[in-house]
Structure 1
Amino acid sequence: MNAAAPGSRLEAASRLVKKFARFARGTDTLSVAEKVYSIAGFLAIVTTFLLVMSIQTVRLQTTYRHMYASSAEAAINVGRINALIYAVVMESRGIYMSADRSAMKPFADGLVRRNRELAEAVKGLERTVDYDDAEQVSSFRQRIAQFIDFRQELVRRGLEISPAAAREWGDNDANRTLRAKLNGDLEALVRIYGQRAREADDLADSNRYAAAYLFVLGLASLVLAGLNVVVMRRSVVGALAEITLATDRIADGDVRSKVPHLGRNDEIGRLARAVQHFRDAVARIFELEELELGTAQARDAAMTERDKFNDKYQAKKWQLSAAINSMPQGLIMLDGKANVVAMNGNYRQMYNLPETIQSGSTLGEILQHRVKSGLYSGDIATYLAAVLARIAKREPAAYEITLNDGRTIRIHERPMDGGGWVSVQEDVTEQRQRQRILERMERFLATIIENVTEGIIAKDARNQRYVFVNRAAEQMIGMSRGEIIGKTARELFSPDAAELIERRDQQLLAQKQQLEPILDTIDNPTRGRRVISARRIQVGGAGEESHMFVTMIEDRTGKIEAVAA
């Protein structure tokens, strides 16, 4: 039994894959539920990747800041240690060259002070050391200790004995060997922290790639959300409205009208075939009524036959009810007086309706239950009057409501022939939450772009017209975005400046990206001759609707004038 279960699951998975393959070739073999669940599954996968990439971006940024800060601090400490060692050596030479103790005393005091500073600098270096560098720094610390002790002894001999004794102690091969080893240690530390800085730069590059992935995943989420709306509109709401109209025509006696969507293989197709069976049963009943026989025997036979078809009619009616209940949305049908004609299980579950509310109940009873359960707090009479007014006007409507428990319900209403009304309702709480998240992210990005100090200008690569200018760029150019957007460089700048801008655009088109800044001198029509630093990137590519050139500008005129002065 356990062995059969995996085999059955494998077989079901194989059937599902084959369905998707046929669907990809243009054959609509998927049910509405499979379409909706597939899109929701892909959206969940993209959202998961979006979350993972967000966490990865934060982790890379944190690691980059830590590596860059520690490398910079260590490099500063290494430079300070090197300078202090040089200062100690210079003070030692002062001691060597002194003729007596009084002349040597200032150099000795300076050497002792520099020794203390050197010891503190080594302690500062140890605070930035990683585990991998501990052995290297430990060896360096021992040599520094030897160096300090050697210089302390040099001072002692000079003060207590004589400058000649100090010179004899310091001017030897051992001192020079120790100094050479210290120089080697410093060079090794410089190489180590130089490598760390390059690793931090590599992390910064990885973080830029992660940002690009986040953009692509966010775009995929938007596409899937839009696809979900299109599928629901085309596969469910529109099809149900057409089937409802066909049902109304049958109810009015038009048993020759065609039932749409019979060829579909999903729940809508099963509903359409159930309506067709219902139409056939009603047509047969009409035929029996027209074939009234003149004799009692003939009437009895006709009544018997009619009873049989009534049974079939009830069976088909049950099939229609089962098809309605298989819909993933909530559905309720009302007559012209807002009495319930039919409702499915999803509608009952959506509002937690009791068993006492069935077909034949009124919409007012449903609203009273919603008030008691806390889902609705409005005026029942006003709500009923609005519904009856829409039924009387026979105007379709689509709107959303928010229940008191926080859920958002999307409602599509369509009139039925004969004064009826059908309402398809769907819980879209999660979709709205995702939309709000995307809207907050868009506002966040727009705020950042508007408040950076660097000017940002975007133009359509196809017609060379400007499509976006941030606040900083407005100030640099001296024009409002209303004066800039929609125009080309030749409409805004002098011929020479416009020709330079177009030449830079052609260079960008050839090399894809231009991340290194280029200095150009531009004749600004409002601010005069300006020196600007510009970096340029492409968004999209040739043949794409979203192909744009984005330029990041910094006005260097003031800095260059200050340097020249």
Structure 2
Amino acid sequence: MGVAALGSGFSAGTKFLKKLVRFARGADTLSVAEKVYSIAGFLAIVTTFLLVMSVQTVRLQTTYRHMHASSAEAAINVGHINALIYAIVMESRGIYMTDDRAKMKQFADGLLRRNRELAESVKSMEKNVRGDDAELFASFRQRIVQFIEFRQELVRRGVEISSAAAREWGDNDANRTVRNKLNSDIEALERIYRERARQADELANENRYAAAYLFALGLAALVLAGLNVVVMRSSVVGALAEITQATDRIADGDVKSKVPHLGRHDEIGHLARAVQHFRDAVARIFELEELEIGTAQARDAAMTERDNFNDKYQAKKWQLSAAINSMPQGLIMLDGKANVVAMNANYRRIYNLPETIQAGSTLEEILQHRVKSGLFSGDIAKYLAAVLDRIARREPAANEIALNDGRIIKIYERPMDGGGWVSVQEDVTELRQRERILERMERFLATIIENVAEGIIAKDARNLRYVFVNKAAEKMIGMSRGEIIGKTARELFSPEAAELIERRDQQLLAQKQQLEPIVDTIDNPARGRRVISARRVQIGGASEESHMFVTMVEDRTEKMVAAA
């Protein structure tokens, strides 16, 4: 049983794919329902990919920031420790190269102070130790302890005994061996931290593609939503209006007018062919009515034939009703007094109408039933007056209403010749829910960009004017985004800084992307002279309206001062 069901589903899927291929080649092989459901399915797939890519982007960005910060801090600590070791060695030489007790005391105090700084620096490095450098750091820390104890003993000998005793203790092979091993440890640690920085850069390279993917997925979702509206207008509402006008012409006696959309293979095509059969039946009836038969036998024969065609007329009318009921949307036709001319099963399902409400009932009866079932809470008299006013003005309308049970109904209304009115209604609750999910996702991404620690600046590549800055960029520049957006670099910075920024922009145009950080010193009018590291990305091309530069900026001024 399961194999049979699977085979049936596979066969149906194969047929649907073949219809899609023929539709893509220009053949109108899809029904209205298949078009709408296909677009909705693609929109759901795009939304799912958009969510997955958003989560992946956040994960990559968090990992990159942690790796980049830890490797940078570790590298700074290694450099600081190396400088302290060099300074301690210089203070040691000062101790055992002078016989002046006062000067020796100054060197000794400096050496002890730098010993304490060295111990604190090594302790601060422990928080960045991982599996790849744990063993090396343990031996390095032990050698630092030996180095500190050795230098403290050198101070004691120099202060309490003499500089010669200090020189004897300091100038030996054991001391040089410890120094050489410390140098080797520092070089090994530097290699490890350089490798971490390289891994962080590789992770950043992976993350740069995520923004492009998110933009493409968002654009695809917008295109699919717009395509759904176009399909509804072109495939349903406009076609129904034209068929309705043809029906009115037939009802007025014009049985020679052409019925549109006969060549379509969907529900609209079925409806058009039913109207054509109806037109043929009416034409035949008119012919019979115009015949003047001289004898009673001929008249009886004519009446019999007319009755036969009346039967056919009723059959065609039933076919028209069946075609209307096959539509995936709800449909109701009203005359000039808001009496129901026709309605399909989907309209009944939307408002849960009883069988007592049929063609010939009034719109007021439908509204009264909706009030009893809790689907309408407005003023019936005012609602009816508004509908009659739209029918009288014969102006097409489109709007959405929210039912009391939470459903959202999209309504398209068009006038019919003869004073009537046709309304196509569709339950778009799920579509609106998906749109709200997409909107929340866009706000989510905007919040992430707004709160990252790195400054993000977007600039229109055509006129070099700033179009976006996040909070971090505002803080780095020292201006609010209201003061920045819409202006060029020459309107915000000094001529020298603006010339440097524009030169970097021209380099970006030539290189397409600029993912390696470039460090520049810029005179900031609000914060003074700043050292910044920037990575630039070019979005779009020169022939596109969305051609932009995106710059990721890091202010390294404090780090440079601390390193100095």
TM-score range, shorter chain: 0.7 to 0.9
Stretch moving more, 283-292 or 113-122: 283-292
Deviations 1:49-83 (A, max 9, x none): 22222222222221121112111221222122223
Q: Report the CA distance shift for 1:292/1:222 in structure 2 as closer, same or farther (over 3 A).
A: same
SS of equivalent residue, structure 1 residue 3: helix
CA distance in 2, matches of 1:403, 1:204: 49
TM-score normalised by length of structure 2: 0.77
CA distance in 2, matches of 1:380, 1:233: 29
1:19–1:30 Cα contact (<8 Å) kept: yes
Q: What displacement does 1:208 show?
A: 2.9
Deviations 1:269-316 (A, max 9, x none): 111112222223333444444557677766666565555544443333
Stretch moving more, 176-185 or 197-206: 197-206
Which residue in 2 is equivalent to 1:122? 122
Stretch moving more, 377-386 or 113-122: 113-122
Please list, as runs of the form range in 1=range in 2, the aligned pairs for 1:145-224 lying within 5 A after superposition: 145-154=145-154, 165-224=165-224
Q: What displacement does 1:323 show?
A: 1.9
Which residue in 1 is equivalent to 2:484? 472
Which residue in 2 is equivalent to 1:230? 230
Please list, as runs of the form range in 1=range in 2, the aligned pairs for 1:14-53 lying within 5 A after superposition: 14-53=14-53
Q: Report the CA distance shift for 1:330/1:166 in structure 2 as closer, same or farther (over 3 A).
A: same
Stretch moving more, 42-51 or 508-517: 508-517
Q: What displacement does 1:518 show?
A: 13
2:47–2:438 Cα contact (<8 Å) kept: no
Which residue in 1 is equivalent to 2:545? 546
Kindly provide the amino acid, as one letter, of the partner of residue 484 in structure 2.
A
Matched, 1:352 2:364: no
CA distance in 2, matches of 1:535, 1:181: 38
Which residue in 2 is equivalent to 1:13? 13
Q: Report the CA distance shift for 1:514/1:206 in structure 2 as closer, same or farther (over 3 A).
A: closer
SS of equivalent residue, structure 1 residue 459: coil
2:465–2:488 Cα contact (<8 Å) kept: no
Which residue in 2 is equivalent to 1:485? none
Which residue in 2 is equivalent to 1:93? 93
Q: Report the CA distance shift for 1:348/1:206 in structure 2 as closer, same or farther (over 3 A).
A: same
TM-score normalised by length of structure 1: 0.77
Q: What displacement does 1:33 show?
A: 1.4
Which residue in 1 is equivalent to 2:524? none
CA distance in 2, matches of 1:261, 1:119: 88
Which residue in 1 is equivalent to 2:409? 409
Q: What displacement does 1:264 show?
A: 0.7
Q: What displacement does 1:328 show?
A: 2.1
Q: What displacement does 1:36 show?
A: 1.4
CA distance in 2, matches of 1:290, 1:23: 46
CA distance in 1, matches of 2:50, 2:282: 55
2:237–2:424 Cα contact (<8 Å) kept: yes
Stretch moving more, 419-428 or 263-272: 419-428
SS of equivalent residue, structure 1 residue 277: helix
Which residue in 2 is equivalent to 1:376? 376
Deviations 1:116-137 (A, max 9, x none): 4333322211101223222222
What is the total number of aligned residue pairs between the two structures?
A: 514
SS of equivalent residue, structure 2 residue 50: helix
2:33–2:328 Cα contact (<8 Å) kept: yes
Q: Report the CA distance shift for 1:444/1:173 in structure 2 as closer, same or farther (over 3 A).
A: closer
Which residue in 2 is equivalent to 1:495? none
Which residue in 2 is equivalent to 1:76? 76
CA distance in 2, matches of 1:111, 1:346: 91
Which residue in 1 is equivalent to 2:133? 133
CA distance in 2, matches of 1:149, 1:442: 58
Any stretches of 5+ residues in structure 2 without a counterpart? 469-481, 493-500, 521-533, 554-564
Q: Report the CA distance shift for 1:546/1:478 in structure 2 as closer, same or farther (over 3 A).
A: closer
Kindly provide the amino acid, as one letter, of the partner of residue 546 in structure 1.
E
CA distance in 2, matches of 1:48, 1:402: 27
Q: What displacement does 1:267 show?
A: 1.1
1:536–1:549 Cα contact (<8 Å) kept: no
Q: Report the CA distance shift for 1:504/1:159 in structure 2 as closer, same or farther (over 3 A).
A: closer
Which residue in 2 is equivalent to 1:459? 462
Aligned residues: CA RMSD: 4.4
Kindly provide the amino acid, as one letter, of the partner of residue 178 in structure 1.
V
Please list, as runs of the form range in 1=range in 2, the aligned pairs for 1:190-339 lying within 5 A after superposition: 190-290=190-290, 305-339=305-339
